Structure formats: structure tokens, C-alpha cells
Amino acid sequence: MIDAVVVLQARMASTRLPGKVLVPLGAHTLLAHCVRRLQAAAVGPVIVATTLRPDDDEVAAEAERLKCRVVRGPTDDVLARFMMASVACPSRWVIRATADNPALDIGSPERLLRAVVERDADYGVEEGHPFGAAVELVSADTLHRVAAVAIEPYDREHVTPYVYRHPDQFRIVRIAVPAELRRPDIRLTVDTPADLAFMRRVLDRADAGDGPAPLLAVIAAADAVRREMSGEST
């Protein structure tokens, strides 16, 4: 049994930006940006959890091209997909990431692993990141417990809300992100066409060549692009 597995949820369906997970941002798709950053974190294999819908055949193909294992399950019951990934690749810890965040903090998974092990916790998250840069960590045992009792559609779709709504049942660790990365005023996710245009400019400026840029470089690029956009609007 390995210590951790990273599960990246991804699907083509999106109300505001359909097909966004496969749109290009520079040399890579949105999905590829996410996978590359999670692979660079080097805490465990990355599994892409997508749906059984025909349009997600493309997601599965892109994940396989990126050398990721793929699991496919219900469209709205994302928790069920995470359970499938946990069964397919047993581990003590499951790191949850979403495929609309192309600037995930590469260092966060390792920091969270250290924190939950040191404090014997069931769930961990860092607070203070730019919006879209964080991941979550949950023990596989906790994931299985939640899957057995969570019945609300919201809990099934978003995987972890049942945990942090029941602090009496689970040991939860919330830690502050390192000071230099504490920028909750910056939005680094892709949910709308405006987000996509912004992140294309940011990632183009932060491009580190062969490997993904550190989050600190992405933050600096985002600040520069925001200054440029402010000048363009005057």
C-alpha cells in the first residue's frame, strides 16, 4: 500500500464554460496543467476521475496521454468516483484536486501530508491561498466512512463537506499557507471566459520552460497581468 494517491476530478460538462478542461492554455490543456503540477508534487500517482458520458472519452484519452490512471463513474456523484479511485489504488491518504485550477500549489500536498501525520488527523487543508491554488487531503478511511453515510446530493458532489460540517466526528487540521503564498485576493481558477483569458496571460508570463512554474512565480505574473489590465481599462 502506498502512502498517498492524488485524485483529480475532471469532466467536459460545465455550465459557464463547456469543455474547459481540454481548452489550451499555452502549450498545454487545462487538464495537462493540473496533472503536471500534481505530478511535480511527487507525493503519489495521479488518477483522473471522470464520468461515463461520451464527451468525457476525450478527458480519459488526454489523461492516459499524460500517463495517468483513469476511473470513470457517475456524473454528479463525485464521491463515488473518489471511492472508485481509492479502491483502484489503495493508499492511506487521498489528495483531492479539481481540473479547473491550472496553478495548483505544487508544495501543498507534501505540507498537508506532514501536518496530518504529525497531528494524527483525518482531514487537512491549507488556508490563505490564491483562489484555485489549494488542494484537500483526507484519509482513505474517512473517505470510506463518508461514502457510507453521506446522502445529500451536495455532499456527494463536493466530496468533503460532510467532513468539515461534522468536526465532532473527524479530526480536522487547518493550517495557514506559507506567508509568501498567502494571497486570497488573487483568482487563479478557470470558471468563466474571463478567467480563461486571464489565466492564459498569467501562465504565458510565468512559463518556466519544461517544468511548471512555482506558485510564487504565478502570483508575481498575476500581479503583473492585473496591473496591465488596469492600465488597459483606463
- Domain ranges (residues) in the chain: 2-232
| Position 1 pLDDT exceeds 90 | no
Quote the radius of gyration of the chain (alpha carbons, Å): 17
Query: How many CA within 13 A on the CB side of residue 45?
Result: 18
Class of domain 2-232: alpha beta
pLDDT, tens digit (0-9, with 9 covering 90-100), for 75-112: 999 999 999 999 999 999 999 999 999 999 999 999 99
What is the Cα–Cα distance from 209 to 112, expressed in whole angstroms?
A: 27
Do β-strands 28-29 and 24-25 pair in parallel, antiparallel, or remain unpaired? antiparallel
Helices (H), 66-188: 78-88, 108-119, 140-149, 153-158, 161-164
What is the mean predicted confidence (pLDDT) over 211-227? 95
Neighbours of 25 (CB within 10 A): 18
| Position 25 pLDDT exceeds 60 | yes
C-alpha closest to that of 217 among 230, 234, 204: 204
Please give the mean pLDDT across all residues of the chain: 94
What is the Cα–Cα distance from 150 to 182, expressed in whole angstroms?
A: 32
Question: Which three three-digit cell numbers place residue 32?
Answer: 495537462
pLDDT, tens digit (0-9, with 9 covering 90-100), for 110-126: 999 999 999 999 999 99
Predicted local distance difference test score (pLDDT) of residue 207:
79
What is the mean predicted confidence (pLDDT) over 65-74? 97
What is the Cα–Cα distance from 86 to 186, expressed in whole angstroms?
A: 32
